[in-house]
Structure 1
């Protein structure tokens, strides 16, 4: 029985900044951001949006009267949780109007947990093939204004239906996980911005990719030539390029050329949104499917990485008609509007964060489907936008 990704959808905010403008404000050369880091634009998050509203917006694009009845479980993978106890999946279930006989849970392991959610979902479907699991990878990447990590911020959510006889990607059995206790990136409970050792984290990322891919080859006997493309976790797009080049070295043969072209296709959407943490690999996968030279029957490799650290390499076979089961991401990105650096900084500092006071946000400027209206008596207030 085939089990895998049946449908996929992406949602982000309707505002962004041009990173060339940010570079000028920070006194840097624009090429440092657009070439050195590999980012062009970055999603800007108003205080009325968080992982719950973005996750619900992505999931709603997938749902219809037929498939909504088969959802047995919602798993939200995030490192931007809004409560230390209550799962964000419960809020999303309510906003989507799903029935109460739905299991809801939240997973955490830095940027890796979206992959863990998919693997757990596959197990649930294997037990009950008539059921579908809704997996949502939603995050808001924050490092702080005028910090080295600022250029790698971002926000958004990828929603996926995991089921039997999938329409997008049938996941193959062999997967290789690899984990070590490493302090390359972390966010203590008292912090709203992440702490990161950037160069160290990049080196660990590359090592984990090579370790898992080599082990996968040993277990399966497959070669690089057996893949149409490799999709990488892309906290910034240059990271994937560094990992791929560590594998390819000086190779310029047709297989190496194909891998580089497919990586460029994978990077297209991530360059316009920024870091999604748990969702970055899967936005990249959607970008490769929509912008790369992919056809039914192709085998794709996926490398997932979460700091702290855990990596996983697994594979899937692209299914016939996959293109009709993805939302039109570029159209959504083109519909956004650019904001000034001053406005971006104002919105960055206006987030609810760890503030315990009652707050009521002005919803007039937010046109997205779901909003965070504020906080009252230590409880976040979510609603469908009017």
Structure 2
């Protein structure tokens, strides 16, 4: 039985900050951001948007009433949790009008979480072939104003429906995972911004990639030429490029040229949005599917997932005949093009206006055009609006 990704959707803020503007404000060469980390723009998240609203928008773009009737499991991956006990999936299920006879959980392991959710969903569908699973990866990547990690911020959500007989990608059985307790990135309880040892984390990323890639091709009996494209977790897109260059050293010049070409299509959306944490790998998948004129059905895609702390996995899937149908006709290039730019001062104001631990606060949301809104907190209870 084929199991995999049936549909995929994406949502982010309607606002962005141009990386050239940020570079000038921080008195650095713009090429440090544009070329050095491979980022053009950074999503700026309104205080009236959070992981729940962005995930709801992403899911709402792909769900039909038939999908809703067949979804029996919602798995929400995030490292931007809004409650220490209550799963974001429960808020989401209500906003989307899903059945109450379902399972709703939240998963955490840094940026790897959505891959854990995907594999859990695959196992569930193998035992419940007529049911579907809704998988979400949503985050607001925050490092702090004027910090070294500031240009690698961003935010948004990716939603995927996992089912039997998938429209987009059949997940193959062979996966390779590696885990080791390290301190390259973490966010202590009570902190709204992450702490990171950036140079160390980049080295660990590449080391883990070497381990899982090597094990994967050995166990699967595959070579570089067997992959139509390689996808990577993209905290910033230059990181994925470094990973790709490490892998293609083993192949021919033709393999390297082909895979580098597809990588450029795969990182386009990420360059325009920034870091999604859990959703970054899957936004790259969406970017490849939406933008590449050369990828085709039957191609094998290799996917490298990494979450600091640290956990990595390499797995693969086969593109299905009508994979474009799984994008449900949404023009994400147009969606990103219609966003509004903000100044550095406006970005800083939005950044400092987010609600974390407050008992009561009402938010002004009239200027937020999104379909799902976080309106504030009363007695520590979060309130949402569906338009």
Q: TM-score range by the shorter chain?
A: over 0.9
What residue in structure 1 maps to residue 343 of structure 2?
Answer: 340
Offset of residue 250 of structure 1 = 8.6
1:100 counterpart residue number: 100
Residue 217 of structure 1, CA deviation:
1.3
1:270 is matched with 270
Match of 2:314 in 1: 313
Number of the residue aligned with 2:385: 383
- Distance apart, 1:276 and its partner CA: 0.2
Q: How does 1:1-386 map to 2 (within 5 A)?
A: 1-249=1-249, 253-292=253-292, 293-326=294-327, 327-354=330-357, 356-385=358-387
How far apart are residue 324 of structure 1 and its match? 2.1
60-69 or 109-118, larger mean C-alpha shift:
60-69
TM-score (norm. length: structure 2): 0.98
Report if aligned partners of 2:68, 2:99 keep a CA contact under 8 Å in 1.
no
**Could you list the runs of 5+ residues in structure 1 that have no partner in the other structure?**
none
Q: Tell me how far 1:185 sits from its aligned partner.
A: 0.2
Q: What is the TM-score normalised by the length of structure 1? A: 0.98
Q: State the 1:5 CA deviation.
A: 0.0
**Which consecutive aligned stretches of 4+ in structure 1 deviate over 6 angstroms post-superposition?**
none
Cα drift, residue 167 of structure 1: 0.2
For the residue of structure 2 that corresponds to 1:323, the secondary structure is helix
Structure 2 gap segments, 5+ residues each? none
* Distance in 2 of aligned mates of 1:208 and 1:132: 32
Residue 37 of structure 1: SS of its match in structure 2?
A: coil
Q: Could you tell me how far 1:248 is from its partner in structure 2?
A: 2.4
Name the SS for the 2:23 alignment partner. Answer: helix
In structure 2, distance between residues paired with 1:129 and 1:251: 38
Displacement after TM superposition at 1:251 (Å): 6.1
RMSD between aligned alpha carbons? 1.0
